[in-house]
Amino acid sequence: MAEERRTRSTEAFYGRRHGKTLRPRQGAALDAFLAATLIDLEKPSPAEISELFSVAVTSVRLEIGFGGGEHLLTQVERYPETGFIGVEPFVNGMAKLAAAAEEGEAGRPSNLRVYDDDATEVLDWLPEGCVEGIDLLYPDPWPKKRHWKRRFVSQVNLDRFARVLKPGGLFRFASDIDTYVNWTLMHCRVHPAFEWVAQSALDWRTPYEGWPGTRYEAKAIREGRPPAYLTFRRL
């Protein structure tokens, strides 16, 4: 079962891995979904990352911590010529994506692969300069100062992003927590591989093209926490 895969200590994932216990039908559906889409990091990464997918793709994008998969699945369906890798260690989030993917008009998409553990393992496994974009959308903000070291945005992980992104590739970060937005701006500003592409406040106040919104985002807006949508280019 999917739950049995949680065996290793992780470098960058500190959150919960389990929510409500999955019903037998949900668990069976999740296992079937993972059997078809889960990336096996025990195998060497392919020389051409497009080989991960059963259909021809012209580019590959990575989403880290996709939650319930609202944004990821929207992108997968909108860009069938692009391959997507989604990483989510939270079992219930992966189960939501599995159910939504199976219920889609085309059934389980062929341009989607997933990983259900620490994203740093995927980043270290991927070939150099292989992805066009990395999305980190509403990550856990770890608001207490003593926990800031747990935030996924760090110089070490930006080094990882820089290694796997193609020149000109985009790192997109969205959050409603102003301290994490400022933290990310600061870290990217001092990293030599990234530049912030915003020209005006409208750029970071406007959602990304095709942005579907999420339940978490709607709650944040209701509670008076306006989101910021940052985009950085790999130099």
The answer to whether 71 and 97 have CB atoms below 8 angstroms apart is no
Catalytic site residue from 40, 117, 118, 140: 140
Q: How many CA atoms lie within 13 A of 78 on its CB side?
A: 10
DSSP secondary structure letters along 201-219: HHHHHSPPTT----HHHHH
Q: Is 40 a catalytic residue?
A: no
Closest CA to 95 of 118, 116, 112, 122: 116
Beta strands in the chain (DSSP E): 59-64, 82-87, 112-115, 131-137, 165-175, 194-196, 228-234
Neighbours of 33 (CB within 10 A): 21
Compute the chain's Rg from CA coordinates: 17
The answer to whether 68 and 45 have CB atoms below 8 angstroms apart is no
The answer to whether 87 and 64 have CB atoms below 8 angstroms apart is yes
Strand 82-87 to strand 59-64: parallel, antiparallel, or no bridges (unpaired)? parallel
Instruction: List residues with catalytic annotation.
Output: 140
